[in-house]
Amino acid sequence: MRGSTPSFLPIGPGGIIGILGGGQLGRMLSLAAAKLGLRTHVYSDKADAPALDVATLRTIAPFDDKGALTKFARSCDAITFEFENVPSAAVAFLAHEKPTHPDARALAVTQDRFAEKTFLSDLGIGTAEFARADTFAEARGALSHIGAPSILKTRHLGYDGKGQAKIVADGDLASALQALREAPAILESLVDFAFECSVVAARAIDGSFIAYDPPENLHTDHILRRSQVPARLTPAQGAQAQAIAKQIADALDYVGVLAVEFFLTKSSALLVNEIAPRVHNSGHWTIEACVVSQFEQHIRAVAGWPLGDPSRHSDAVMDNLIGADAENWRSLAGGTGALHLYGKRDIRPGLKMGHVTRLSPLGAAKPIPRD
């Protein structure tokens, strides 16, 4: 009945998990579901999306097509999404038909950088200093308070460095706002960090929680280039990062996998940069290096299954294949790493085309190169 919350029972083998979004994360979720005897129905607004190649069922339609959404929902036993730019209104609409995890509230909080930072601040979790900058007057007031250097970011739809402008001096504000086309924005202080790391974790419907070992992450041009585990965190810092991830997941009553991206400052403080309400690029190494991968973990949570063992049996280095990197696929296929290609039709600069994961015995990893 519309307006009520659907009841939920664990979904057995043969059940169908609906996935909003057809990118590489949806592709890897579909493969993980198949391993468990579950099927997937991918809903994409793009006809050439890579997840469509491996899904059991496919719908190609706009995310605001209520007729297509309803038909999609009625074919599924539970629904999830594979990227955070799916309209939260579509998730809320689907939730009236079938159990939908994560829910629309978690998505709405993480889709808005100002709402996300405010949520974290209200929990007492450290972040960069921030202020709303929706108008020129607000941005000017925020800059006078936070100062330069700082970063102006759109509140919505930014990823991989998109929707950001660095402010080195006060005179840069007008051009930064123009570069962002005067979209609602947030101003953040520039963090002097030693390195970046993340926690990929999962929370089940019953509130049980697991977290993977935190990887250390290296970005190039704002795009993740490499994740390596273990990170250069002390045991206490690693435990603190995992505890913060749990605090966030509990506060959102979250179901599924989420990632929490951190800065470790040069003064050894952990600051949260962003929350990703989905499986995450910095967790791809879990496919080869852990008993249960982040993708299987997410399917387990959404289907109402017990969470799996996140233990790591190897050290790992995961390298993204970005743009023309994928043209070297023959050589990579003959190398020592596990090669994943996402089946994207066109190679474009800045586009994630695949990844390679290389394993080594526990304790054998060297510090991540800082090139």
**209, 179 Cβ separation under 8 angstroms:** no
Which pLDDT does position 1 carry in this prediction? 34
DSSP letters spanning 133-184: -SSHHHHHHHHHHH-SSEEEEESSS--TTTTEEEESSGGGHHHHHHHTTT-S
**CA 328/CA 224 separation, integer angstroms:** 19
Domain 16-100's class? alpha beta
Residue 4 has pLDDT above 60, yes or no: no
Q: Residue 22: which pLDDT band, with cuts at 50, 70 and 90?
A: very high
Q: With 90 as the cut, is the pLDDT of residue 175 above it?
A: no
* Rounded average pLDDT over 164-184: 83
Percent of the chain whose predicted confidence (pLDDT) is above 90: 83
Distance CA 3, CA 337 (A): 49
C-alpha R_g of the chain? 20
User: CA of 62: how far to CAs of 89, 228, 257, 291, 302, in Å?
Assistant: 13, 37, 25, 37, 23
Q: Are strands 39-44 and 338-341 parallel, antiparallel or unpaired?
A: unpaired
Position 176 scores a pLDDT of: 85
Phi, psi of 102 (to 5 degrees): -60, 170
Question: C-alpha dihedral over 200, 204, 209, 214, to 10 degrees?
Answer: -10
Q: List the structure tokens of 277.
A: 């309400």
Which band of pLDDT confidence, cut at 50, 70 and 90, is reported for residue 182? confident
Q: What share of the chain is helix, strand, coil (3-state, %, to 5)?
A: 30, 30, 40
Mean of pLDDT over the chain: 93
The model's pLDDT over 204-256, given as tens digits with 9 standing for 90+, comes to 999 999 999 999 999 998 899 999 999 999 999 999 999 999 999 999 999 99
Closest CA to 281 of 319, 232, 331, 239: 319
pLDDT for the residue numbered 174: 84
Question: Token match 């159990």: residue?
Answer: 99
Q: What is the pLDDT of residue 365?
A: 65
The per-residue pLDDT for range 98-148, each reduced to its tens digit, is 999 999 999 999 999 999 999 999 999 999 999 999 988 999 999 999 998
Q: What is the percent of the chain with per-residue pLDDT over 70, rounded to a whole number?
A: 95
362 phi-psi bin (left φ>0, alpha ψ -120 to 50, beta other): beta
Is a pLDDT exceeding 60 seen at residue 260? yes
Q: Which two tokens stand for residue 348?
A: 């474009």
- Sign of the dihedral through C-alpha 218, 115, 203, 160: negative
Residue 320, pLDDT score: 98
Class of domain 193-360: alpha beta
Q: How is domain 129-189 classified at the CATH fold level?
A: Dna Ligase; domain 1 (3.30.1490)
The pLDDT of residue 368: 61
Domain boundaries, the chain: 16-100, 129-189, 193-360
pTM beyond 0.85: yes
Q: Order the strands of the 130-132 sheet from edge to edge.
A: 130-132, 185-189, 150-154, 164-167
